[in-house]
Amino acid sequence: MAEQREDEILGKAYDSRLMRRLLVYIKPYKRYVIAAIIFNISVAALGPIRPILTKIAIDDYIMNKDYNGLFMIVGILFGTLIIQAFVQYFLTYFTELVGQKIIYDIRMQLFSHVQKLALKYFDRTPIGRTVTRVTNDVDALNEMFSSGVITVFSDVFMLIWILIFMFSMSVELTLITLAVLPFLFWATFLFRRKVREQYRKVRQHLASLNSYMQERVTGMNVVQIFAKEKQELKKFSSINDNFKTANIKSVFYYAIFFPFVELLSAVSISLMIWFASGEIINGVLTFGILTAFIQYMEMFWRPVRDLSEKYDILQRAMAASERIFNLLDDNTVVKDVDNPVLLNKVEGKIEFKNVYFSYNPGELILKNVSFTINPGETAAIVGATGAGKTSLINILTRFYDIESGSITIDGIDINKLDAKELRKHISLVLQDVFLFSGTIKSNINLGNSEISDDQIIEAAKTVGADNFISQLPNKYDEEVKEKGATLSVGQKQLISFARALAYNPQILILDEATSSVDTETEQLIQTAIEKLLVGRTSIVIAHRLSTIQNADKILVMHKGELKEMGTHQELLARRGIYYRLYQLQYKDQEIVKTA
């Protein structure tokens, strides 16, 4: 809804600041643009030549009864027509090509920019909005580049040509023809203003109709629970009527404008005939000129009328580019380090020293957290919801930067590392497995060609995913639908384990899923996890009894602080927070196991 409203705001039709930025994108295609302009000028000239040729045909040949001359002119006319048709084709083609190439560039720039944005951006921006920027908004620009700007050029060129031809034939008749022009301008201006005002009202009514419907459809259960259908229908009816009335008013302006323009053109023709009659009788003007002028008039009217439409296109494009540039200017990125340290061989020693962290300033999520995990160790993090477990892994992977304290890997502060460099050594397995549309294979190697097919299969075998994959019709090339809809929860988890293993990281972070699976799958997953943890430093947000029992140390998080640390038995004996957590979250699994 906010999205919709934001998208409806129409600003200025021309903003030089935005325009300058947009024009930068044309630069790489200078040659195309120059070609398009040349085509433009020729097409604009070829159209207005025909009435001139008609005039010559009438005055010089028909009136002089010259069959051959007439035939010649017809031939020339035919020739210009063919040339015009060809040039017109290439003009359309090249302007579209430039427009498409530019929006391709803008789209890719935008998409690449979004890839760099920090998670903070994604936290506060609905995904739909970012998607709209990259898709619809970029496409709205196309209209401006291909049909808007360039046709304005050709319209202007054509008007100039027509004026040149008209003046060369008869200055007086031209002036008489143009005498109506101020009225046309005035009418168009007035019409445009009225229509724009009315259009805005229509949009407003449409917006309130839409938001009314949207809200009632979403809350239909409330409407029905309170049996308010009759009253709601009344309300709907009045909003619906307002929308209708606003539209009918705008119909009125169109109904007045078009006939008025026709009337103007009739007046103009009348004036021409009236004026020409005397001049022709006096021999100053010819019939050919009169005929040519009547044709020019029709050519003249259209571009002037179209101006208002161009205005709307430009306005929409400006609004879209404003939103696009806003996103491009968004600098929510995890800052790159000037001279990043390179990590070659990672042992896997992780140390947190007095770490403080908050998502929003003033709301501390982690307070004074310090611990060390030695290479090859498995640390389990436990705690109630909101204790800060997920935040711990978010800062270790530098999805977010900490407020104070330090996090080191093998003694190197992670702030001195490039975020990408850091992440190359860490595999993260999230609670909600995210699968991309593609194949099983592409979901394990994530498109990394350095991971061979053998390695993929090896990884899948190790975590026990190979069993079900090899039973699929296309095995590792089996198509995975959006979000892996065709796979079971357990299968998705096994794939995400295989993914982590295929990347063979020195550090593994695992956020165990809580969703319940059947006993058989549970067995598979437990075995897989055990294999996953071997030989690397691992941090696990644990939801499984088996995981905490096997961990080298357990970190007990409580209200953002590290409250207890030790092995399962040590912590149980302490009878503190862990003891209660254990009874609350893990003890049931013991019962299931023995049962």
Q: By C-alpha distance, which of 61, 144, 154, 151 is closest to 106? A: 144
- In the complex, the smallest distance separating the C-beta of residue 408 from another protein, rounded to whole angstroms, is 19
Report 383-402 residues binding another protein (CB under 8 A). 384, 397, 399
The single residue among 197, 229, 309, 336 that binds another protein, judged by CB under 8 A, is: 229
Residue type, 501: L
Residue type, 275: F
In angstroms, the Cα distances linking 378 to 353, 440, 534, 538, 557 are 19, 29, 9, 5, 16
Cα torsion 518, 523, 527, 530 to 10°: value is 80
Q: Of the two residues 116 and 531, which places its CB atom closer to another protein in the complex? A: 116
Instruction: Check residue 13 for interaction with another protein (CB under 8 A).
Output: no
> What's the per-residue H, E or C state across 227-289?
CCHHHHHHHHHHHHHHHHHHHHHHHHHHHHHHHHHHHHHHHHHHHHHHHHHHHHHCCCCCHHH
Q: Of the two residues 101 and 531, which places its CB atom closer to another protein in the complex? A: 101
The single residue among 147, 204, 210, 308 that binds another protein, judged by CB under 8 A, is: 210
Burial class (CB in 10 A: 0-12, 13-18, 19+), 34: exposed
Instruction: Check residue 565 for interaction with another protein (CB under 8 A).
Output: no
In angstroms, the Cα distances linking 244 to 240, 251, 260 are 6, 10, 25
Tokens of 90: 């290439």
**Buried residues in 261-275 as b, exposed as e (16+ CB within 10 A):** beebbeebbeebeeb
Instruction: Check residue 485 for interaction with another protein (CB under 8 A).
Output: no
What's the residue count for the chain? 595
Lay out the site mask for another protein across 523-562 (x = CB under 8 A, - = otherwise): -----------------------------------xx---
Instruction: Check residue 573 for interaction with another protein (CB under 8 A).
Output: no
Instruction: Check residue 202 for interaction with another protein (CB under 8 A).
Output: no
Of 167-175, 350-358, 424-432, 485-493: span binding another protein (CB under 8 A): 424-432
Instruction: Check residue 135 for interaction with another protein (CB under 8 A).
Output: yes
Q: How far apart are CA 487 and CA 435, in angstroms?
A: 10
Q: How far apart are CA 335 and CA 259, in angstroms?
A: 62
Q: How far apart are CA 58 and CA 54, in angstroms?
A: 6
Instruction: Check residue 156 for interaction with another protein (CB under 8 A).
Output: no
Lay out the site mask for another protein across 437-476 (x = CB under 8 A, - = otherwise): x--------xxx----------------------------
Instruction: Check residue 333 for interaction with another protein (CB under 8 A).
Output: no
- In the complex, the smallest distance separating the C-beta of residue 371 from another protein, rounded to whole angstroms, is 19
Q: How far apart are CA 233 and CA 246, in angstroms?
A: 20
Instruction: Check residue 180 for interaction with another protein (CB under 8 A).
Output: no
Instruction: Check residue 32 for interaction with another protein (CB under 8 A).
Output: no
Instruction: Check residue 38 for interaction with another protein (CB under 8 A).
Output: no
The single residue among 228, 305, 367, 475 that binds another protein, judged by CB under 8 A, is: 228
Of 120-128, 162-170, 181-189, 347-355: span binding another protein (CB under 8 A): 120-128
Tokens of 51: 């009435």
Q: Of the two residues 135 and 467, which places its CB atom closer to another protein in the complex? A: 135
Sign of the alpha-carbon dihedral angle for 217, 221, 223, 229: positive
Reported as half-sphere exposure (CB side, CA atoms, 13 A), residue 473 has a value of: 2
Instruction: Check residue 185 for interaction with another protein (CB under 8 A).
Output: no
Instruction: Check residue 274 for interaction with another protein (CB under 8 A).
Output: yes
Instruction: Check residue 341 for interaction with another protein (CB under 8 A).
Output: no
Report 58-117 residues binding another protein (CB under 8 A). 58, 61-62, 65-67, 70-71, 73-74, 77-78, 81-82, 84-86, 88-89, 92-93, 96-97, 100-101, 104, 107-108, 111-112, 114-116
Q: Of the two residues 251 and 523, which places its CB atom closer to another protein in the complex? A: 251
The single residue among 156, 171, 263, 592 that binds another protein, judged by CB under 8 A, is: 263
Which residue matches tokens 């999205």?
Answer: 3
Report 242-261 residues binding another protein (CB under 8 A). 243-244, 247-248, 251-252, 254-256, 258-260
- In the complex, the smallest distance separating the C-beta of residue 135 from another protein, rounded to whole angstroms, is 5
